Amino acid sequence: MKVSIIGATGYGGLELIRLLHQHSSVDIATLHSFSAQSETLANFYPHLKGLEASPLEKINPAEIIEKSDTVFIATPSGIAKDVALPYIDAGLNVIDLSGDFRLKDNQLYEKWYGKKAAPEDYLAKAEYGLAEFRDNELATFIANPGCYATATLLGLAPLVKKQLIDPTSIIVDAKSGISGAGKVPSKSTHFTETNENMTLYKMNSHQHIPEIMQQLTKWDKSIPAIQFSTSLIPITRGIFTTIYVKPKNPITQQELHQLYESTYEHASFVRIQAENTYPTVKQVTASNYCDIGLAYNEKTNVITIVSVIDNLVKGAAGQAIQNLNIMANFAESDGLGFIPVYP
């Protein structure tokens, strides 16, 4: 299969290149970037020296449609909504890593992103690609979920799908490494500001909240809202979410584990930790795993769920390839079979 990557110079694009390099059935046909053309990626990213021959090319849809079967869109939100259209129209497989096609409700998009939404008929076509819970495994146009959304939804799915929790009790305390902010330097990614620091940067205002709500309410209509704050911790890769919910009825630690084990029985990238064990961010670094730990506190009737992912892999490029594998009927772990890099 031939693929093109639009937005190849961002962190999402780089990670697609890294992972696809190991994929047995995919070749990268063309690479594209808005910020650079007619140069090789290795000019900007010396780690790629000797590895990646394709130069960065202008985006010529006709040419891409001719050369490729699949297009990954790894541009920022607000750009993908225009860039993606020709390939969808042409019937190519399209996997968009941005937020532009995740929300079915265009007004919600405009409220949370502060930008014009994609055309409604395209929004309707897009399949929300939470890989473990896809509605339509044959869909060829995928809105790949946000990193926080992935960690949060995989953490909540088993309980919410069975409507086991008090719908007003969901609190998500999410922490992210700095790569989540992308490659453009800013005050909040400046080493001297972020190193030896922790910063709560969005209080109930992160743009992943509406896609989380959209999915949660598919599973349990009674959920009115969630409490959701995001903080930066001084690591490069990784998301660590601590989720607090109250079950409608008391539950044992064992029942809780069984529920999660059975829900993810066939999910090769979700690993439920043993009782009294909580995952660390580092145990999934550079891999497509989502690791989940669970606790129930009888005294407070609170379930704590800890879920960790690598934001650039399971939270972006890895899940995108997992979605491609599902869509193309490749082995689910093709290009993703890495052991996490540890230590």
Establish if 340 lies at the interface with its own copies (CB under 8 A): yes
Q: Confirm or reject binding of residue 148 to its own copies (CB under 8 A).
A: no
Rounded CA-CA distance 103/107 in Å is 9
Which CA distances in Å does 60 have to 37, 64, 68?
12, 6, 12
Instruction: Using CB under 8 A, pick the residue from 25, 39, 47, 67 that binds its own copies.
Output: 47
Smallest distance, its own copies to C-beta of residue 85, A: 30
> Of 106 and 301, which CB lies nearer to its own copies in the complex structure?
301
| Three-state secondary structure call for residue 321 | helix
| Selected binder of its own copies within 2, 125, 183, 257 (CB under 8 A) | 183
Q: Is 227 in the site for its own copies (CB under 8 A)?
A: yes
140 Cβ contact list (under 8 Å, min separation 6): 91, 92, 93, 94, 327
Judged by CB under 8 A, the stretch of 29-37, 49-57, 118-126, 316-324 that binds its own copies is: 49-57
Instruction: Between 93 and 230, name the residue whose CB sits nearer to its own copies.
Output: 230
What are the CA-CA distances from residue 328 to residues 1, 209, 230, 268, 332 (Å)?
Answer: 9, 30, 34, 17, 10
283-312 residues in contact with its own copies (CB under 8 A) are 283-287, 291, 293, 295, 297, 299-302, 304, 306, 308
Distance of closest approach, residue 126 Cβ to its own copies, in angstroms = 26
The single residue among 25, 51, 60, 331 that binds its own copies, judged by CB under 8 A, is: 51
Near its own copies by CB under 8 A, which window of 60-68, 118-126, 155-163, 183-191?
183-191
Torsion of CA 96, 99, 101, 103, to 10 degrees: 150
Total interface residues for its own copies by CB under 8 A:
87
Decide: is 53 part of the binding site for its own copies (CB under 8 A).
no
- Residues 156, 131: Cα–Cα separation, whole Å: 15
Among 38, 107, 192, 329, interactor with its own copies by CB under 8 A:
192
Site for its own copies in 5-44 (CB under 8 A): 11, 14, 17-18, 21-22
314 binds its own copies (CB under 8 A): no
**Catalytic residue, candidates 31, 147, 259, 292:** 147
| 4 Cβ contact partners less than 8 Å away, ≥ 6 residues apart | 28, 29, 30, 31, 32, 64, 67, 68, 70, 71, 72
For its own copies, the binding residues in 118-137 under the rule CB under 8 A are: none
Closest CA to 105 of 90, 118, 89, 88: 118
- State yes or no: is 147 an active-site residue: yes
Rule CB under 8 A: choose which of 113, 141, 148, 278 binds its own copies.
278
Q: Helix crossing, 209-219 with 106-113: angle to 10°?
A: 150
For every residue of 289-316, DSSP letters joined together read -EEEEEEEETTTTEEEEEEEE-TTIIII
How far is 306 from 272, CA to CA, in rounded Å? 10
For its own copies, give the closer residue by CB, 208 or 237: 237
C-beta of residue 93 within 8 angstroms of C-beta of residue 72? no
Q: Determine if 266 is a binding residue for its own copies (CB under 8 A).
A: no
Smaller CB separation from its own copies, 25 or 60:
25
Preceding amide of 46 cis, omega within 30: no
237 contributes a contact to its own copies by CB under 8 A: yes
Report if residue 204 touches its own copies, rule: CB under 8 A. Answer: yes
Residue with tokens 């497509």: 288
Give the list of residues 6+ apart from residue 299 with CB closer than 8 angstroms, or none: none
In whole angstroms, the minimum distance from the beta carbon of 290 to its own copies comes to: 12
Query: Binding of its own copies at residue 208 (CB under 8 A)?
Result: no
**Of the residues 104, 134, 161, 271, which one makes contact with its own copies according to CB under 8 A:** 271
Does 331 contact its own copies by CB under 8 A?
no
Catalytic amino acids?
Answer: 147
